[in-house]
Amino acid sequence: MKQSLCNGWEFTQEWTDAFCRGGGEAQSVRLPHTSRELPLHYTDHNDYQMVCGYRRVLTVTDALRGKRLFLQFDGAGHIATVYLNGQELATHRCGYTAFRVELTDVVRSGDNLIAVRLDTRENATIPPFGFVIDYLTYGGLYREVWLDIREQEMIHDVFVTTPTLTTAQVEVTADSPCRVEILSEDGAVLASGSPGQLSVPDALPWSPETPNRYLCRVTCIASGDTMEVKFGFRTAEFRADGFYLNGEKTFLRGLNRHQCYPYVGYAAPEALQREDARILKEELGCNAVRTSHYPQSHYFIDECDRLGLLVFTEIPGWQHIGGAGWKDQACENVREMVTQYRNHPSIILWGVRINESTDDDDLYRRTNAIAHELDPSRATSGVRYLQKSSLLEDVYSYNDFSHCGDNPGALSKKAVTPDMGKGYLISEHNGHMFPTKAYDPWQKRQEHALRHARVLNAACASGEHAGCFGWCMFDYATHKDFGSGDRICYHGVMDAFRNPKLAAAVYASQQDDTPVLEVGSPMDIGDYPAGNIGDVYVFTNADEVALYKNGHFVSKLCYGDWNGLRRGSLRVDDTIGCLLETQEGFPKKKADLLRRCLLSAGKHGLAGMPLTDKLRMAWAMVRYKLTMDDGVALYGKYVGNWGGEATVWRFDAICSGKVVASVTRCPSAKLHLEVKASRTALTEGDTYDMAAVHIRILDEFGNVAPYAQLPVKLTLEGDAELVGSDTVTAEGGMCGTYVRTVGIPGHAVLTVSTAQTVPVTLRFQID
């Protein structure tokens, strides 16, 4: 039985030896906790580095006598030394895996003082430290802490694999014989027996489409001690030609995810961890995620299990390999990662190399062997930036940053891997090659989206790539050595608050559950050289898109030549369409000729038109007896429109003959706020709860107003608190905040306002 120990802690930013014996001043905190909250921009990585302390009282009641007691820390960044009543018990040297300390023989009846000396500094003796790192490594007791209460004869570990889709192999480590039961999610017992292989003939498979889960319950016969793990019936295999889930070839279409959040760094509770998995699956349409560059919260992985997201997880590290002790710790990190996460059906691949490190065959023989020994059921890999590097694992994972806009989207498999007989996937692409802010000009935001589409398309089309993980899910703070001048890596398809940029639509458009329609350009003439609309792309999952100008049908947009992606972008290459026929009454032959001339003039300018088009235009004017004034009028009406009334463009997404989404583009000064919370019903349980609040400034047609860089005022009243500043700036028309409970039930009201919009109010119920 686990008892949460997330409440009732005291914290000091300056550890002293007296602190672990109850001396010194401290502030009350709740877990998860960050060693220091930080600003959104211009974060100094030195601010969270310290030797700090945490302590709380643990009361051992009579009911706990005769039990075995374990203190479990799910995440402590980065070197944690645990004390009980002033006595040092243990030290753990990894900030990204859990650890536990047995208290059975050292606790006393009544009150005991637990204390943790936490070194959050970037210590070169342990991974991922020793050199520069392109992400912040926030400190604190940033995941949950538990008291695990067990019987004297206890179960130490349960490991479930599924050799077939109807058999479960259950391995148990225990002090005495055990009974095993396999249960459905509704609690029905489907199979029982001793550890070993159990058959469930009617088992339903686990997959992204059908994430069916089962419960394995193991009971120690002598003592009644129990352990339960959730699992799924699924097989996962990487072959030379790709990845096979349950025997069916499946392309891994995903993004990389860091575990950080604005202000609080790593310290986010269960609700936000699960929310990120939901965003990846439901909003971004991914079927996979890579947990770059370290193991992440079990809540996040459990939600991947529940929703059906395939996971590639890896040990902590970033390019650097240290000395002998450092390498020993990396091997220990592999052991902890595999044993702690191996029952999650979503995990299909272990990363046993330091991300983007050079070859070290001696080290990687060790890490690969550890993973295979502890989990023979899963493949291993390691992320590289090197081509043809030493391949000791089962899958060659390569960060393919070769695409630069006007070349192929991805390198061929044979150009990268030394072994064509093993699996191959792209572990990162884009990212630093084309960093894009939410407030960048539309041309850059559109190109950002197109680059993601081109890489995905190339990898899908090759037939040899097992998958493709874009870099990355959202923007994140980094060290001064990387990122933009404000120390932010603007590599995400979303901003730091998880508001979508245009590139998010590339991923979202690959799913069918929710209609997607995003237009790459605002279609305002002031955003184009000489007012001429250039190449515009539409991202959608519709069958087709109909384009209208001032309410008049122009044309149907087609997907074009995308040979890999199920749905690539649609190009708007004709803004005249049939208008010369329907609005001018021109016969089709005349309309076609003039449309071609006008489109060329719009693209190249009248002076820059190719000679053939100039001759064609001259012939058309002679053939149809058009004057120069006639030509100028047609050009102004259908191409330039400079000085004319603003055009209203409408894009209708059509599925099965019905309009399922519509986007209107027209200059607008009528702004309004869109404010959405991840949840408005919050729960005070084992610890605090949090809701993410997404804020966007929209025009009257519902489009994000990218130039609305407005100050946004946040006012919260009631039984909750804001995380971060009460005034933020909309970047590209988007920003956000977080609402956190404070330990009491009740209500809270958040009011969001700007000088140019009507305020919006959200109400939160706290139970």
Which residues are catalytic, by number?
A: 356, 428
**DSSP string for 444-460:** HHHHHHHHHHHHHHHHH
Tokens of 26: 């401290």
Tokens of 743: 């330990």
Answer for the pair 416, 464: CB distance below 8 angstroms, yes or no. Answer: no
Answer for the pair 641, 675: CB distance below 8 angstroms, yes or no. Answer: no
In angstroms, rounded to a whole number, what is the distance separating the alpha carbons of residues 32 and 529?
A: 51
Instruction: State the DSSP H helix or E strand holding residue 348, giving kind and residue range, or none if neither.
Output: strand 347-351
Cα 758 to its chain centre, rounded Å, is: 32
Answer for the pair 321, 362: CB distance below 8 angstroms, yes or no. Answer: no
Tokens of 59: 């009361």
- Residue 15 half-sphere exposure, CB side, CA atoms within 13 Å? 21
Three-state SS string across 270-309, please? HHHHHHHHHHHHHHCCCCEEEECCCCCCHHHHHHHHHHCC
The CA angle 481-486-487, to the nearest 5 degrees, is 35
CA torsion through residues 714, 734, 490, 286, sign: positive
Which spans in 499-548 are helix H? 504-508
3-state class of 431 per DSSP?
Answer: helix
**Backbone angles phi and psi of 530, in degrees to 5:** 60, 15
Answer for the pair 60, 112: CB distance below 8 angstroms, yes or no. Answer: yes
Burial class (CB within 10 angstroms; exposed 0-12, middle 13-18, buried 19+) of 185: exposed
Q: Report the candidate in 504, 539, 469, 449 with the shortest Cα–Cα distance to residue 734.
A: 504
Q: Which residues pair with 85 in a beta bridge?
A: none
In our burial notation (b when 16+ CB lie closer than 10 A, e otherwise), range 313-346 reads: bbbbbbbbbbeeebbebbbbbbbbbbbbbbbbbb
Q: Sheet harboring 27-29: ordered strands across?
A: 27-29, 9-12, 51-60, 110-119, 79-84, 87-92
3-state class of 131 per DSSP?
Answer: coil
CA distances from 101 to 11, 107, 526 (A): 20, 12, 65
Structure letter (DSSP) for residue 639: I
Tokens of 215: 């419960």
3-state class of 206 per DSSP?
Answer: strand
In angstroms, rounded to a whole number, what is the distance separating the alpha carbons of residues 609 and 527?
A: 21
The total number of residues written for the chain in this structure: 767
In angstroms, rounded to a whole number, what is the distance separating the alpha carbons of residues 182 and 199?
A: 9
β-pairing, 310-314 vs 720-723, is unpaired
In angstroms, rounded to a whole number, what is the distance separating the alpha carbons of residues 576 and 591?
A: 10
Tokens of 257: 């995810």
Answer for the pair 607, 618: CB distance below 8 angstroms, yes or no. Answer: no
**DSSP string for 730-763:** -BTTEEEEEEEE-SS-EEEEEEEE-TTS--EEEE
Answer for the pair 252, 277: CB distance below 8 angstroms, yes or no. Answer: no
In angstroms, rounded to a whole number, what is the distance separating the alpha carbons of residues 83 and 163?
A: 43
